[in-house]
Chains A and B, each alone.
Chain A
Amino acid sequence: MATSPMARARGLGERAMGRVFLAPSFAFMAVIALFPVFYAVGISLYDIRGFRQEFTGADNYLRVLGDSGFLNAVGNTLVFTAASVSLEFVIGMAFALIMHQAFVGRGLTRAVILIPWVIPTAVAAQVWRYMFDRNPGFVNSVLGTDINWLRDPSWAMVGIISADVWKTAPFVALLLLAGLQTIPRDYYEAAKVDGAGVLQRFWTITLPLLRPAIVVALLFRTVDALRMFDFAYVFTGYSNSLATLSVYAQRYLVRDPDLGYANALSTVTFIIVMLVGLAFISRMGRHMVGDVARKEK
């Protein structure tokens, strides 16, 4: 196909413009996000105490593997992630279905459901911490229990899981509700005519068609839970009972300064979080990215 000189000139203009438009973002991210990741690997090969620096190779990584505090943090993070993400998914799905069914009050609920999301996590964590605290003992008085929520490691874990589920189940509901609204009503009518019950319609229509929204919600929630810092730190500080990967890696920055080890820990955490994220995206990413690419045509 013959292109007119004018069109070719415009094409060149657009090509240059594309590079110029991309440059600031990608340069910024490369210097402030990507470079530090490699820099961290560099620092992690040293033993740094005060002004003394000594190259120790992989010693910090060997120490990570044998560190019971780190293994404890891995355990805490996995328990927190598995419990909070599955509860958020079930409750978020229930909320989304409720809101999808309702006619009166849907607008109000959809606005209110944003409120837990917009509150800073550290603030929500303090509110829940004090609701769980034995003095004055609000949660104990509601449940009729006498549990020392903040001191007992298992109950403290229940505490931060509850707080996180409270804050993010509505967010999951919002994502799933948006997905529900794209499913044509006719499908349900047709299934009803064929005699499908409520549960059958849910399993055969709702769940499969909601899959993209579900995978996105699970991706964001899982990665967020794996990198969680705020709830664990506000509830029990650096104590081992709740220390997550993020809390444990940050602890060696200021509280017990050991920069080489701190950077080995954050490198390992980075690898764990990104591997899980990539596992999701490799299933989902082509679809999401393709959406932008397809709309373009």
Chain B
Amino acid sequence: MATERARASGPVHRPRRRTHPAVVNALKLLGLAVVLVWCLFPFLWMGMTSLRSGSAAITDPNILRGPFDLSNYREVFDQGFQFALRNSLIVASVTTLICIPVASLAGYALARLPLAGKFALLAATLVATLFPPVALVNPLYQMYLRLDEWTGISLLNSYAGMVIPYVALTLPLAIFILATFFAGIPREIEESAKVDGATPFQAFLRVVAPLAAPGVGAAAILTFVYATNEFLLAFSFAPNDLNVQTVPVFVGTFQRVGYENPIGQVMAASVLVSVPLIAFALILQRRIVAGLTSGAVKG
């Protein structure tokens, strides 16, 4: 193919065109700039809009035009946004604290211990990661109502009502990530601990678990992020009680007061939840990438 083209272009041998390295580097930097702008520009708009007050914010699309003040932030706190932040933190933390120890045991068993039908169990775990939450909302709602009738325990409008399905929905991915990490730890380390007289359980707890810490961290972070992100179940089971309402529900169903367009307040709330989450993502970057890409790439 290349020789044909060379023949067609005649006897004159054209040297291969080389782009100047400086131009290449400039293009590469431009490419990165596009990626950065893509990821960040909505936050510029969000931040500026949250600071604009008065009617200009609703009628004028120019985000550089004031007046600017903090009134939107005052208003979202008056409406109890601090409770939503607290609720999200509690629900996500408790979900993670329950999910990860339980998933670590299963992940270790699947990666290391002799089990009948291991392949089927791993495949089932993988399939379970695809579970659509909407298939849980309707029957679980009915189960919560029945439980309330029989025992007087009401899971609607409670932390537990969210945490229970969140654990069920995050377990499969956590197990899969942890199994991948455990499988990557050299077996010899474990064997030598056993030679030294450790029981299988001691070998797991003292030797393997600490080595799997990066995997445990990655799985914990992904679980935490899933629970802070979840909207459908939280919105169905705890829609408007500020004692339990989470951030996605508070922001996603923001009620306008009277006829006023609440754009500034919604953006103020969005800024308040984005700042800690962005800091979280930047600090834990390596762990997150390791978790997201485990299983996706063959090393």
Interface positions of A (Cβ within 8 A of B)? 10-11, 13-15, 17-22, 24-26, 28-29, 32-33, 36-37, 39-40, 43, 95, 98-99, 101-106, 108-128, 130-131, 133, 135-138, 140-141, 166, 169-171, 173-175, 178-179, 181-182, 195, 212-213, 216-217, 223, 226-227, 229-230, 233-234, 245-246, 249-250, 252-254, 259, 262-263, 265-267, 269-270, 273-274, 277-278, 281, 285, 287-289, 291-293, 295-296
Contacts and interface: CB of A to CB of B under 8 A. Distances in A.
B68 interface: no
A93 B288 CA distance: 20
Chain B at the A interface: SS class: helix
B154 interface: no
Contacts of A229: 133-134, 231-232
Interface of B: 2, 25, 28-29, 31-32, 34-36, 38-40, 42-43, 45-46, 49, 57-63, 102-103, 105-106, 108-115, 118-119, 121-123, 126-128, 130-143, 164-165, 167-169, 171-172, 175, 179-180, 183-184, 187, 194, 199-201, 204, 225, 228-229, 231-232, 235-236, 239, 247-249, 251-252, 254, 261, 263, 266-267, 269-270, 273-274, 277-278, 280-282, 285, 288-289, 292-293, 295-299
B106 A24 contact: yes
Given A95-B35, A104-B28, A121-B229, 6 more contacts: A98-B28, A115-B278, A119-B274, A130-B49, A136-B263, A178-B297
B288 A263 contact: no
B89 to A, nearest CB: 13
Contacts of B261: 135
A40 B138 contact: yes
Nearest to A112: B39
Contact of B122 (A166, A170, A227, A292): A292
B113 A266 contact: no
Chain A at the B interface: SS class: helix
Given A33-B131, A112-B40, A114-B288, A174 B293 contact: yes
A286 B270 CA distance: 41
A267 B137 CA distance: 11
A130 B194 contact: no
A39 B134 contact: no
Nearest to A96: B35
Contacts of B171: 25, 28-29
B201 A126 contact: no
A262 B135 contact: no
Contacts of B252: 122-123, 125-126, 230, 233-234
A118 B278 contact: yes
B114 A259 contact: no
Contact of B137 (A122, A124, A253): A253
Contacts of B298: 182, 212, 287, 291
A108 B43 CA distance: 17
B251 A115 contact: no
A189 B252 CA distance: 51
B58 A15 contact: no
15 contacts: A17-B201, A21-B109, A24-B105, A98-B32, A104-B32, A118-B280, A122-B229, A131-B45, A133-B263, A213-B296, A250-B134, A269-B134, A281-B130, A287-B298, A293-B122
Nearest to B6: A195
Nearest to A248: B134
Contacts of A43: 138-139, 142
Contacts of B49: 130
B59 A295 contact: no
B29 A28 contact: no
